Chain A
């Protein structure tokens, strides 16, 4: 990891310094926002080989557009917006659709076969919730999220992992607040259904 000065600059100071020609400070901007950008790229782009190029492309676009940024939103939200649009452009170029059920990549298939079938089924009379959550939920949940369509897994990660608000997600994705909320509800329901299906249960 590069050794950069601590995050002592405000967003405004940081942008001003980069625009005045101190490009080294741009590293701070990358470090402040790379969690969000990485999350977006990983959730929207299925092919691991394409992700590094896309992440770098995002930051080169941010650098070139920085003069046009007028703090109409948080800096991180603006960077997230560029990351989302860059990924969207990639998906359009590859003729992939954000909301179609995702096709597992060869890497996913290998991973799935390596893991094998789910190791448990809630037996009759047992508590289905306990059966679900007594096991390695994090691992299973991670796999289930990967099976969601790109937009759904992006929304899940932005809301639950990045802890962004509906409004911030709406700004990043340019979707109306209500649509974000509605998609998020559907994504969570789908996620629960996928998890339940793994345990061969109809309902909890």
Chain B
């Protein structure tokens, strides 16, 4: 298969990021003295160049035409996700500088794995074929498992990695089983070809079971009930900057392929799978929010919070056939990336060796010690709760509208009620920061971490105050088919 120069350009972000990861790995192997700060700088620089390449690709005429035999597509939908994922990698690298520098493990591995995870995510969102999507997903997942166990001398970190690996392998097996059943029944792997073929085909049990298993595999990746149990353990055990990354990066990729597969390939089965997704969404919102109420460990609370947010985002999947469905998911994920990463980045502020800020009491009296940090944290918490005028409110507005328009008013009402429940646990942190007299964990700030937090804060506020231009840009990123 011969590629033209313009087709090579479409692949350039992935190729460049892969090369950058290998170079960083080589530098850390051959130059023992390479400072972790320098490797972090290289990672951020490489990711920034990749962002530039993605923007260059987006301006190229005909960039939305599939290449590599139809397996790889760079439409506006993929470009949106690529940019958001690359920003999440930059934020993670910024949040990791002090933490990796103080850890007794090589930083080169850490940053290279971060970039390799990014490569997997970039290929995933451009996947237009079940096989290319699966291979990219595995590249992302394998790098993520190792990142979770980066603190290899600490039992919590290694156990988190083991759990993530075993349960992740389970979900990959389920997904692969589903893919093979669909291929066995349809004889096609390309998503547009599957859509054409299945549009006129009779429904069969095996095909339906295949779609069900694909859905189950993807629900694991986005941490929806009943496949959510790994999240609190992995988020608690993994180093906090890695947790921050897990809460946004791989989730973005999973939502992207969930949307692409079910929106492009299986629209004919929408009535069948949307009912299952509605039940899962309701259970995910209830379990996530109620379990978060019971937590005293901040990372576990935020883990359950992110489970609840997975339930909200599924409202957009249910409303795929409405105007707000896929559009709402894009708006919500944009807001979610910044507000959720911001919260985790502020948890990193309050820790010393990766695990210190574990309890809500660590936030005691933060407003007395650093009013700016406390106010910024409050903004993130308000946004996560969906209170206007923050980004979270805008995202939820679009998702709840999608559920209403799809005829799931009861689900939208449940989502509003669960958002009200979430205010209780988010405000436990706020109360500790502003009203508690106790002594909290010491703050260990750095310029890099402060930059990451400020980027998230500005984005969260801007999306909330002036949503219209941003939302209109995202409308153009919705997949054009079917």
Q: Are both chains from one complex? A: no
By a beta-carbon cutoff of 8 Å, the part of chain A in contact with chain B is: none
By a beta-carbon cutoff of 8 Å, the part of chain B in contact with chain A is: none
